[in-house]
Amino acid sequence: MKGLLRSAVSAAGIICLSFSCSAQAVKNDSAQLLTLDQCIDYAMDHQPALRQALIGVDIAHATNRINVSGWWPQVNASATATHYVALPTAFVKNSNGVISEQRSGVINTFDPVLSVSQAIFSPVLLLASRSARYYVEAAEQVTDSTKINVVATVSQSFYNLLLTLEQIDVLKEDTSRLEKNLHDAYHQYVGGVVDETDYDEAAISLNNSKAQLRQATENVIPEYATLKRVMGFPPEQQFNVSFDTAQMAQEISLDTTLQLQYEKRIEYQQLQTSKRLQDQYIHYYRTSWLPTLSGFFYYNYPFQSDALGALLSNAYPYSYVGLSLSMPIFTGFSRTQNLRKAKLQAQLLDWDEVALRSRIYEEYTSAMASYRGNLYNMNAMKENVSLARKTYDIVYLQYQQGVVAYLNVITAESNLINSEINYLNALFQVLSSKIDLEKSMGIIIVKK
């Protein structure tokens, strides 16, 4: 395996030597140059889904503050104005035991009230306090998951763009070679060395190569658009990709002896957070029979007068303080059913973990097989390029000497261009499958 990786690194170094030339073919000289790391950094600051996830963390903090605000003193002010059309009747017993009727109260009252309550113990508030950190942790894990997807998506889009740029370079070389072949075939035809079919075949090959080159060049624009989208880059602005050949060569290798650790996958971490949060709900329903205890203080400052104009002249303030205790006795079995429901939901999460571990293992084995297969294929395609180029040089020399027909040159040329394109595809498939493997193993590093 080490020898295979060394061959892959060498192959990447050879093919990457011409990357800078590829970018020149389609780049805007006035636009900024961005490396893969710079594209990822830009996406970390501007990618819409990631920005939304970061806002989600702030929302989680704000929600927790709202949920635990009940532990703070609750202060309220209110006022009531009353005008009696008819005063209420009171029955008063005098010293002789005779009951008499009389009107009581005053016609106009204005009663401002200041009330303060303080929670001392509350199962609901206790749940909010105990579960607050798990809500924040869940929101942060959503952000980490989004960051991992951004790194993977931007990297693969970047590699797809580079593949097209390098294919353009190969097709340009092929077109230049075929133009020379057409020129030579024409002079040999005029000189009577070959017949007209050789010249026609050369023209056909050149037209096919030009068509492929045009299609590849057209593909660059939508691939830049895709990269801009996953980066959150403004569509109307332009940039060019820049690449470090040595770094790219190093990025091909990956230690395939690393063991899969489920705990490193962000999905597994999110599930564990959900299970811890569910445990808090189970604990809450188990203890929801506990009483709610709070203290209170009321200060009333009522104004009373039979004359409306003199209402605010006389005040009769009073205040009181006390404790309030509330305890559920019978709730129609809602508490026990809520507890049963919470336990069943915990069982669902247990089965989710079983299913998730199976899915993670499937993704890991598939990604590992893809990476190893693509790495082997890349080295085989590298060897094919060398053989195809050697064969083409020999066949073309033989054709110039009149030893073989031009059909042999066409076949050799076709094999050469196919081997070069296949090699490029294999190279970038290795880079892309490496991203998939790192993602499946949970070892993609994201910036906090």
The band of 94, judged by pLDDT with boundaries at 50, 70 and 90, is confident
Number of Cβ atoms within 10 Å of the Cβ of 251: 18
CA dist list (Å): 77 to 71, 73, 112: 19, 13, 7
Which of 90-94, 247-251, 417-421 has the lowest average pLDDT? 247-251
Greater model confidence, 172 or 93: 172
Model confidence at 45: pLDDT above 70: yes
* pLDDT digit string, tens, across residues 109-139: 999 999 999 999 999 999 999 999 999 999 9
Which CATH fold would you assign to the domain 75-120+293-326? Answer: Outer membrane efflux proteins (OEP) (2.20.200)
Greater model confidence, 266 or 190: 266
Greater model confidence, 250 or 176: 176
Q: Name which of 113, 118, 146, 204 is nearest 406 in CA terms.
A: 204
Mean pLDDT of 288-294: 94
Please state, rounded to an integer, the average pLDDT across all residues of the chain: 87
Percent of the chain with pLDDT over 90: 59
Mean pLDDT of 205-234: 92
* pLDDT digit string, tens, across residues 321-340: 999 999 999 989 999 999 99
Mean pLDDT of 254-273: 93
Model confidence at 204: pLDDT above 90: no
Provide the Cα torsion 110, 116, 122, 126; round to 10°: 130
Where in the chain is CATH 1.20.1600.10? 2-72+122-291+330-441
2-72+122-291+330-441 CATH, one of 1.20.1600.10, 2.40.128.120, 2.60.60.20, 3.10.310.30 = 1.20.1600.10
**Residue 7: its pLDDT value, please?**
35
The reported pTM is 0.81
Model confidence at 398: pLDDT above 60: yes
Amino acid in the structure at residue 327: M
* pLDDT digit string, tens, across residues 409-431: 888 888 888 898 898 888 889 99
Q: How far is residue 216 CA from its own chain's centroid?
A: 30
Residue 9 burial (C-beta neighbours within 10 Å; 0-12, 13-18, 19+) = middle
Mean pLDDT of 423-445: 91
Model confidence at 240: pLDDT above 70: yes
**Residue 50: its pLDDT value, please?**
95
Q: Tokens 């066409």 — which residue?
A: 410
